Amino acid sequence: MYAVMVETGLNRGEIGKLILAACFVTDLGTVLASGLLFVGSSLWMLAFISVTALVLWSLPAFASWSFLHQGGGVSEFEVKLLRLVLFALGGLASLAGSKAALPAYLIGLVMAGLFEHERALMQRLRSIAFAFLTPFFFLKAGMYIPLSALISGAFLILSLFCMKLGTKFAGVWPLAHAFRLQAREGTYTTLLMSTGLTLGSIATLYGLTHQIIGQEQYTALATVVVPSAFVPTLIAQTRFLPRHEALPARRMIR
């Protein structure tokens, strides 16, 4: 979703901001809900909540001050600081039995104002995530899918795929119409809101590694996630792209 919005330049327009905001809220809600449902109480969880709250409260001011006095050098102090915070909170979340994606979402939320003025830093972090970290995550997720389970569960996978897209359309398209989005924009929004590649992969892998679901269930769910992200995006980009709001990628990067 984020990559599509950036590459088309729609993240600068009204429709792109609407889609990104809606996806952020729904993804954050999903992460919080799953955390409440499947994470038990422990000292690690208490430590995770306390440390995360302290970091979220102090990080924007501390980062702004440290970037001003230490940033701008070849050593990329800004990138190192944010990676340290993300990996530290992610590791603490894992020890607490939660998802490392949760503190990343929250840090992005509190740092949004600073990133508005640090566009170059945001682009460097985006390059690291998409070029280096993301491929390894999806490689790990794919290694847990046996071909035999994929073939034997083909009917279940197809059924879940249709159910996922059907429920997304039933929930999003009427709202898009109710808020008076044009037909093309409403359909585009509905199609992109039907995706969920990254969070879907994180959730299914979390379920497998924490023994909430078994290997067969993981295979079916993980296999549904990929086409349910690819197919709606392909249709949206080829048939319903709001071209009047799209910006050239080179203009968007400036």
What is the Cα–Cα distance from 228 to 197, expressed in whole angstroms?
Answer: 8
Under 8 Å between Cβ of 186 and 126: no
What is the Cα–Cα distance from 242 to 69, expressed in whole angstroms?
Answer: 42
pLDDT in tens, the chain (254 residues): 777 887 777 877 888 888 888 888 888 887 777 766 766 667 888 888 899 999 999 998 888 888 877 766 667 788 888 889 999 998 898 888 777 778 888 888 888 888 877 777 777 887 777 777 777 777 877 777 877 777 877 888 889 889 988 998 898 899 888 888 888 888 888 888 888 777 888 888 888 887 888 888 888 888 888 888 888 888 888 888 876 554 444 443 33
What is the Cα–Cα distance from 94 to 42, expressed in whole angstroms?
Answer: 12
* Start-to-end CA span in the chain (Å): 21
What are 167's two structure tokens? 């429920």
Under 8 Å between Cβ of 191 and 235: yes
Where along the chain do its domains lie? 2-253
Question: Of 36, 28, 43, which Cα lies nearest the Cα of 102?
Answer: 28
